[in-house]
Amino acid sequence: MMKQATEIVINSTLVTDRYEAIFYEFVLTEDLAVMECGYVESLSQHRMQAVINPSVDLQGMLFELNHVRVNPRMDNTLILAKLARALEESGVQINHPAQQDDMALCFKPLGELSDIVRFFVNVHGQLTFLSSSVKLQVVESVGPISLR
């Protein structure tokens, strides 16, 4: 029996108004909290710079999910299910999820996502996922804005 995976890695791109790709990697716990985070200084030299306090240092930053990496020598079923549930709650549909013994587990562990997924790190150090399939509307314009 394989040991249960307790972390997962997400690669993402910082969303900016400039034509540059700044890559970040997040190591998430089973609760999808950020355990470690860093941005890629150099792809060719495989250099990363650690982000010491992600919930503070990344405040106001938006990221776009590129891919998910898992440890193929561990059972990733539970942690992938938690991530899939969080994505589905944000409106993303997941098709053809990889099984634990599939080769696809290394390349597309979640399967095929129906939408571009963006996220930010909230004040509790957890990821909040956003999907283009959920259309937010302003329902009140006087006083505090509430979204539906």
pLDDT at 108 (0 to 100): 75
Give me the torsion for CA of 13, 61, 126, 132, rounded to 10°. -70
pLDDT above 70 coverage of the chain, percent? 82
Q: What is the pLDDT of residues 39-89, one digit of tens each?
A: 988 777 778 899 999 999 999 999 999 999 988 888 888 999 999 999 999
d(C-alpha 138, C-alpha 148), whole Å: 7
- Enter the pTM of the model: 0.82
Arithmetic mean of pLDDT, 9-37: 92
Closest CA to 67 of 127, 6, 128, 117: 117
Q: Which tokens go with 68?
A: 């998910």
- Name the pLDDT band for 21 (thresholds 50, 70, 90): confident
What is the pLDDT, as a whole number, of residue 104? 55
Q: Identify the residue whose tokens are 């999910």.
A: 65
